[in-house]
Amino acid sequence: MFLALKHWSFPKTILIVLPIRISSVIPGMKPWDQISFAFLLDPDAVYPVYGILHYRDGLRYLVQNENGLPVFIPRQLFKIEEPRIPLDWQIAEYKFQEQSLLIISYDTITESYPALCDLIELRPEAVRAFLDYKDSMMV
């Protein structure tokens, strides 16, 4: 299941992104097919963003993929459709492999590094907490 603007209503204070088509290629696959395959995104869908992660030199958006799972996806794969962010987001900085990791998102993953790790690893309790947050954002 994926979130698309035409099927869902979103609160006005949420960052919304659209996938973009890119030109990098995996041999034997069309450029968009590789992205769709790797991240389970629909190129025609609109995705609300539930967090922004910065690590090393890259930004990643936390979105829900077509399987309904929360995933951090490189920002280069999207263009911003609606530039607002929720007022309840918080910011936290963690150290990972002696590098700074910055997360801007809902409180569960900004207040606890283990909770962020659990979400990245798709542990069931972390996915449930993500889905509860997502549901609380719906109008």
In a domain, 5, yes or no: no
Is 111 contained in some domain?
yes
**What pLDDT was estimated at residue 63?**
92
**Length of the chain (residues):** 139
Q: How many domains does the chain have?
A: 1
The answer to whether residue 129 is domain-embedded is yes
How far, in Å, are 13, 115, 128 from residue 9 at the CA level?
12, 28, 21
Tell me the pLDDT of the chain (139 aa) as tens digits: 233 333 334 443 445 555 544 434 444 444 434 444 466 777 778 888 999 999 887 899 999 988 888 999 888 888 888 888 888 899 999 988 888 999 999 999 999 999 999 999 999 999 999 999 998 887 5
pTM of the model: 0.74
Q: What is the pLDDT of residue 115?
A: 96
Q: Radius of gyration of the chain from Cα atoms?
A: 15
pLDDT at residue number 17: 58
Does residue 7 form part of some domain? no
Give me the pLDDT at residue 108, please.
95
Full residue range of the structural domain in which residue 104 is found: 16-137
